[in-house]
Amino acid sequence: MANGKPAGVRCIQLGDDLRCMIFGDPRRPACCAGLQPSAQMCGATDDARGHALAWLTQLEIDTQPD
Residues written for the chain: 66
Cβ atoms of residues 3 and 31 within 8 Å: yes
Q: Quote the CA–CA distance of 62 and 66 in Å, as a whole number.
A: 10
Residue 56 lies near ligand SF4 (rule: CB under 6 A): no
DSSP state of 2: B
Cβ 7 to ligand SF4, closest distance in Å?
11
Exactly one of 7, 14, 53, 59 binds ligand SF4 (CB under 6 A); that residue is 14
Exactly one of 2, 7, 20, 38 binds ligand SF4 (CB under 6 A); that residue is 20
Residue closer to ligand SF4, measured from CB, 19 or 44: 19
